[in-house]
Amino acid sequence: MSAVAAPDLREVNRRFYDALWRDARLIQPQRFNTWSLVDELATGTPRRLEIAPGLRPRLPIAGTAFADISAPALRQLGAHGGHAVQAQADALPYADDSFDLLCAFDIIEHIEGDEAAMAELARVAAPGAVLLLSVPIHMAAWTVFDEFVGHHRRYEPEALLALLARHGFATQRSAAHGMQPESTRLLKLGMWFLTHQRQRAMWWYNHVFMRFALDTQAPLALQPGMIATDGVDTVLLVCRKAAAA
């Protein structure tokens, strides 16, 4: 299956996530199973950037730069001490070599021009910077959920590693990741409520489903290099940008 065509994927994403974050609660990064990894990497690293976190940031909020297209998310991130700007991943308003730790969770699959987005991440990353990246993998696993939330593609693991390498990032560690329900029936039910009864759906999402998902997260099991990806829906990669010659 090839990448999914859409007449204006950026606008689809903006409408969907503006509506989602307008009624959602900001969740502190300490609640996610990525926190021990993030805490290790962020300690003593003040130059941090997270791309399009919405209200689910993984990096420490205070002092971190956040670039997102969603105004409701940016308002809350700024109110909690983040340096929040409205910007797109393929046109970042930062100087070259500005950051030592970058994070892009479940983002580049939403962008038609993923080469441009990766080029921007590489441009603003200082030599030796760490990039935390997560993406859905295997186009054969495509579901209606991918289309509903504005995905442009899923990645084949070898193609993902090649994309990173073209922009100077080497993969050091990886792990299975993601909080998407496995039940297709549950996904369809959730999407129906988000479409037809958004306020009720958001109440359940904030007060029940998200809390349950956070409480039942499996520990992050990082392994060297790329993990075996059979049966994996989303992969998290710890990458490092090549140091200056």
List the CATH number of the domain containing 119.
3.40.50.150
In a domain, 197, yes or no: no
pLDDT digits (tens, 9 = 90+) for 83-134: 999 999 999 999 999 999 999 999 999 888 899 999 999 999 999 999 999 9
CA distance 45 to 50: 13
Q: Tell me which residue has tokens 């099991």.
A: 221
Domain contains 231: yes
Give me the number of domains the chain comprises.
Answer: 1
Cα gap 3→109, rounded to integer Å: 9
Region 206-213 average pLDDT: 68
Evaluate whether residue 185 is within a structural domain.
no
Identify whether the C-beta of residue 78 lies closer than 8 Å to the C-beta of residue 70: no
Q: What is the pLDDT of residue 194?
A: 62
Q: What is the pLDDT of residue 6?
A: 42
Residue in 206, 217, 212, 218 with CA at minimum distance from that of residue 27: 206
Residue 199 lies in a domain: no
Residue 186 within any structural domain of the chain: no
Contact 129, 101 (CB under 8 A): yes
Asked whether residue 3 is domain-assigned, the answer is no
Domain span including residue 15? 9-178+218-241
Does residue 194 belong to any structural domain of this protein?
Answer: no
Nearest to 70 by CA among 89, 93, 47, 96: 89
pLDDT in tens, 35-74: 999 999 999 999 999 999 989 999 999 999 999 988 889 9
Determine whether 245 is exposed, middle or buried from the number of CB atoms within 10 Å of its CB (0-12, 13-18, 19+).
Answer: exposed
Task: Say what the pLDDT of residue 3 is.
Answer: 45
- C-alpha to C-alpha distance for 69 and 48, rounded to whole angstroms: 18
Report if residue 207 sits inside a domain: no
Kindly report the average pLDDT of the chain as a whole number.
Answer: 85
pLDDT in tens, 130-178: 999 999 999 999 887 787 777 889 999 999 999 999 999 999 999 998 7
Task: Name the residue with tokens 């090549």.
Answer: 242
Across 36-187, the runs of DSSP E, i.e. the strands, are 48-51, 65-68, 83-86, 99-105, 125-136, 169-177
Tokens of 59: 């990096």
